[in-house]
Chain A
Amino acid sequence: MPNTQHLKDLTIQARRDILRMVHKVNSGHPGGSLGCAEFFVTLYNKIMDRHDGFDMDGIGEDLFFLSNGHISPVYYSVLARAGYFPVEELNTFRLINSRLQGHPTTHEGLPGIRIASGSLGQGMSVAIGAAQAKKLNSDNHLIYSLHGDGELQEGQNWEAIMYASAKKVDNLISTVDLNGKQIDGATDDVLAMGDLKAKFEAFDWIVVEIKEGNDIEAILKGMAEAKSKTGQGKPVCVLLETIMGNGVDFMMHTHAWHGKAPNDEQLASALNQNSETLGDY
């Protein structure tokens, strides 16, 4: 099991991967990717019980579904560095004939990906289906999913949230990335969603809050708590408070870098703030 320092090293390396990937093709979504780097690194390297290699059905292991597919850069970096595909392949992000499409897909057969996402609001339903398949298969492993906070404006989420508690899908941990931002600005300005904790609890979910969503220790503690609350007849929601653009000073606390790549100077500055740890691809 990797120690915390290794997780920190992986996080910094993931930041470098994200920045270099989007810079190279001058497109992609660095802001949300950077905000979730600690979460992805911790989830894949410490929290999930995973098999080596990739099998679509994932029997006997924990599975993860990314609903807000636009943060593919962090997903690809963490998958590659967890051994699902060669790290060098990050070089092909968003290029023609690549398995690393702008938004994640199963279509090109990239190991680690189990569903296409990008059109928002669909991932929780898929995660619920996978969780119910686990129950049918008497497989005690868990399903994890990640959703943007702005994404919760999509109505399908609320169909899924209602269903998961009604049908006691208690092998599901759905995390919401609470960075408070979406393309057009602050979520509170675009379409305020009010008290999400109260909303999930009103839908009869167990809610775990991680206030320091960019702190690896806090994530470890919060996700361990979430895990301990599975199997109690209710789905578990983690409200993960993150800082969009975390780790790059000029990208932090703004939605400006939601879907914008840094130029050469900006990249140099961003990389300077995150010195190579495990080796660039």
Chain B
Amino acid sequence: MLMKTYTYTEKKDTRSGFGAGLAELGRTNQNVVALCADLVGSLKMDKFIEENPERFFQVGIAEANMMGIAAGLTIGGKIPFTGTFANFSTGRVYDQIRQSIAYSGKNVKICASHAGLTLGEDGATHQILEDIGLMKMLPGMVVINPCDYNQTKAATLAIAEHNGPVYLRFGRPSVPIFTPEDQKFEIGKAIKMTEGTDVTIVATGHLVWEALEASKALHEQGVSAEVINIHTIKPLDEEAILASIAKTGCIVTAEEHNYLGGLGESVSRVLALKHPTPQEFVATNDTFGESGTPAQLMDKYELNSAAIIKKAKAVIARK
């Protein structure tokens, strides 16, 4: 059986996709404003600021204040995009987001870079692995974790059109660009990357490329894997997952996040309610991260294609 394969000619960081998307929004949507807590360079917000200085608010190292100001800016029709690291975009300001943004139903886009282990050497203080869980628990919050530069740019454009709070999670390392530049981003609509019959692999963020690498290797070993790119964790595309497991009968979820509170748990709930199915998790195992290169960390914490292959075989054996 033929399998769709993916290649790449260029690697880029997903945060640069956000920066490019934000710059484009600056030109096309006059209501878009941006805020940053002293991390303009890290968030790649320079272009937007250069072109729209009056629509940019540098708040300094004061994330709680930034979230409140963003909520206030919506009153008057602005669409604020906040930028800081994922850790400081979520855990540090959870109550501000909860009350002033989510409960108040404000149209704020919380844009979070350096998510997960792959920011590398800074270590666990900065490597949040709990943010998806924190944010998906907030009623009304949309949670998005795109997989490459193109998809992050497209997601940035798409969330400006969505009326309501959004958490957009992306990262620091350079990763392959393998999705089409012109692929429209539909919030909550999963993308089937490969067709398969033996196992479903549902991956988000940086793990989508790893899942594709895994599916190639599995194919060579005679295992047919269906890879689904779940860029939106909430709302979850239940139909896409259920349609796939109806064929394959087992599933692996893969994410750069703790298994508690992550994509995997969201998928488990769908399976438990609609179609109980064996599932294995590629995720961190209720642990903090540590310093190291991104590749070393993803290897040590088993968040790569090798780990996906191992879990795919394990889950197939459970069918």
Task: Tell me which residues across on chain B come within 8 A of A134, comparing CB atoms.
Answer: 76
A126, A155, A167: the one contacting B72 at CB < 8 Å is A126
Cα distance A126–B67 when bound, in Å? Answer: 8
Task: Tell me which residues across on chain B come within 8 A of A126, comparing CB atoms.
Answer: 68-69, 71-72, 75, 100
Task: Tell me which residues across on chain A come within 8 A of B33, comparing CB atoms.
Answer: 136
* A133 near B99: Cβ-Cβ < 8 Å: no
* B68 near A122: Cβ-Cβ < 8 Å: yes
Task: Tell me which residues across on chain A come within 8 A of B74, comparing CB atoms.
Answer: 129, 133
The reply on A118 being an interface residue by CB < 8 A is yes
The reply on B105 being an interface residue by CB < 8 A is yes
Chain A nearest Cβ from B134, distance in angstroms: 16
Cα distance A65–B73 when bound, in Å? Answer: 13
* B76 near A156: Cβ-Cβ < 8 Å: no
Given contacts A133-B77, A133-B78, A160-B65, contact A118 B99 (CB under 8 A): yes
Chain B contact patch, size range:
20 to 34
* B99 near A129: Cβ-Cβ < 8 Å: no
**A-B interface pairs (CB < 8 A), number:** 119
* B65 near A125: Cβ-Cβ < 8 Å: yes
Chain A contact patch, size range:
35 or more
Chain B nearest Cβ from A67, distance in angstroms: 10
Of all chain B residues, the one with the shortest Cβ separation from A65 is B72
Chain B nearest Cβ from A54, distance in angstroms: 12
* B73 near A106: Cβ-Cβ < 8 Å: no
* B75 near A129: Cβ-Cβ < 8 Å: yes
Task: Tell me which residues across on chain A come within 8 A of B103, comparing CB atoms.
Answer: 105-107, 116
Task: Tell me which residues across on chain B come within 8 A of A133, comparing CB atoms.
Answer: 72-78
Cα distance A119–B59 when bound, in Å? Answer: 22
* B72 near A130: Cβ-Cβ < 8 Å: yes
B62, B70, B105: the one contacting A129 at CB < 8 Å is B70
Of all chain A residues, the one with the shortest Cβ separation from B80 is A129
Of all chain B residues, the one with the shortest Cβ separation from A134 is B76
* A125 near B75: Cβ-Cβ < 8 Å: no
Chain B nearest Cβ from A55, distance in angstroms: 10
Chain A nearest Cβ from B101, distance in angstroms: 9
The reply on A258 being an interface residue by CB < 8 A is no
Query: Could you give, for residues 138-162 of chain A, a 1 whenever the CB lies within 8 Å of some chain B CB and a 0 otherwise?
Result: 0100000000000000011001101
Task: Tell me which residues across on chain B come within 8 A of A114, comparing CB atoms.
Answer: 75
Task: Tell me which residues across on chain B come within 8 A of A207, comparing CB atoms.
Answer: none
Query: Could you give, for residues 97-109 of chain B, a 1 whenever the CB lies within 8 Å of some chain A CB and a 0 otherwise?
Result: 0111001111000
Q: Which residues of B from 71 to 90 have beta carbons under 8 Å from A?
A: 71-78, 80
B64, B69, B106: the one contacting A132 at CB < 8 Å is B69
Task: Tell me which residues across on chain A come within 8 A of B78, comparing CB atoms.
Answer: 133, 136
Of all chain B residues, the one with the shortest Cβ separation from A123 is B68
Task: Tell me which residues across on chain A come within 8 A of B98, comparing CB atoms.
Answer: 119
Chain A nearest Cβ from B77, distance in angstroms: 5
* B104 near A105: Cβ-Cβ < 8 Å: yes
Cα distance A107–B98 when bound, in Å? Answer: 12
The reply on A58 being an interface residue by CB < 8 A is yes
Cα distance A166–B99 when bound, in Å? Answer: 26
Further 17 A-B residue pairs, CB within 8 A, beyond A122-B96, A129-B72: A57-B76, A63-B75, A105-B103, A107-B105, A116-B103, A119-B95, A122-B64, A125-B96, A126-B72, A128-B72, A129-B73, A129-B75, A130-B73, A133-B75, A137-B77, A155-B64, A159-B60
A residues near B (Cβ < 8 Å) are: 56-59, 63, 65, 105-107, 114-119, 122-134, 136-137, 139, 155-156, 159-160, 162-163, 166-167
Can you list 27 A-B pairs with a CB-CB distance of less than 8 A? A56-B75, A57-B77, A65-B72, A106-B105, A115-B72, A115-B100, A115-B104, A116-B99, A116-B104, A119-B98, A122-B95, A125-B67, A125-B100, A127-B72, A129-B69, A129-B70, A129-B71, A129-B73, A130-B73, A133-B75, A134-B76, A136-B78, A159-B59, A159-B60, A159-B62, A160-B69, A163-B69
